[in-house]
Amino acid sequence: MWAIFLKKVETTKNEPKLNKWKQNGITVAGGNEQGQELNQLNHPAGIFIDKNKNIFIADYANHRIVEWKYNATEGKIIADGNKEGNQIDQLYGPTDVIVDEQNHSIIIADRGNRRVIQWLNQNQQILIQDIYCYALATDKHGFLYVSDWWKNEVRRWKMGEYDNEGIVVAGGNDRGNKSNQLRCPTYIFVDEDQSIYVSDQENHRVMKWRKGAENGTIVAGGNGQGNRLNQLSSPQGVIVDDLGQIYVADWKNNRVMRWFEEKKEGEIVIGENQVILPYGLSFDDEGNLYVTDSMTHAIQKFEINL
C-alpha cells in the first residue's frame, strides 16, 4: 500500500492546498458482475498497489489473490484459485494482501484459516498461526503489523522472525471503547514515525497509536454510528498522506472521508453515488485513489485533479 507524498502548497490563508479527485471513477479491475472468471471478482477486500500500478486484490469470496496488471482487462491468479480450504496451498476468505517488493513475495491475511501466510513462486509458508487476522501493514524498519479482529488488538513482528507471539502495539485490553481499547479492528496503516492508525469498526472511529503509547487517540469519528460529518459507520480501509490527512472507507455510509487529526469533522472526498460499501483504499505514486467497491465487485480508480 502506497503512502502518497504530497507537496504542501500554501494558499493566501497560509493553509495547505487540498487534493481533490474526479468524481467519476474508472473501473480498473472486476466490474463484470459477481463471479470467479478472470475478469470478475467476488466481494473484493484489501488491495495493494505496487510501483508499476499493478493491483493485488484479496478476492475474499473467491478465496484467492489476483493481480491485475496496469490497464489489463483481466486478472491473474497468484495465490490459491482452488476451492476454499485449509491446506497449505488453499485460502479461505482472505481479507488483505501486501507485497514484499524486495523478494517479490506476497503476504496474505488468510482470515478464515486464522493465519498469515506467505506465497513465493507458488511456495507457501505459514508465518503466523491461530490469529483472527484482518489486515496487514509494514513499515520502513522491516516490521509486519497484523490486526486481530477477535482479540481486539494489533501486533507487530520483525519480518522473518515469527517464532514468537509478537508485541501488542495497539489495543489488547479486552473489547471496549476506552482509549486503550478496540472493538473489532479492521484495516491499519503505519506512517513514517511508526504511528499506527486503526479502523475501529464497532466503535465507529479511527484510532492513532503513537510508537510506544499505551493509549490511542481518536482521529476520525468517535461520535457514535451515523452519517454526519463527525461520524463514521463501520470504517474499513484507512490510509494517511504525508500532510497527516487521514482517508477512511466509511463502509456503511457508502463514502470515502478525509480527516485532519485535530479537526472535529471530516469531509467527503468520494460520495455515496460513486461507491457502495467501500472496503480497501490505496494510492498510487501519482496520487490517484483506488477504492474497493465490494457491492459492485470492482476496484474503482479516482484520478487526481491536477
- Integer Cα distance of 237 and 227 in angstroms: 17
Residue 17's pLDDT is what? 66
Would you give the DSSP letter of residue 278? Answer: E
Judge if pTM exceeds 0.85: yes
Phi/psi zone of residue 222: left (φ > 0), alpha (ψ -120 to 50 degrees), beta? left
CB 44 within 8 A of CB 294: yes
Residue 57's pLDDT is what? 98
Task: Give the domains, in start order, of the chain with CATH numbers.
Answer: 26-302 (2.120.10.30)
Residue 16's pLDDT is what? 58
What are the φ and ψ backbone dihedral angles of 88, each rounded to 5 degrees? -60, -30
Positive or negative, the CA dihedral 268, 274, 278, 284 is: negative
Residue 237's pLDDT is what? 98
Positive or negative, the CA dihedral 243, 245, 246, 251 is: negative
Residue 7's pLDDT is what? 35
pLDDT along the chain (306 residues), means of 10: 40 60 94 96 97 96 97 95 88 97 91 97 94 97 97 97 95 97 98 98 98 97 98 98 94 97 93 92 95 96 91
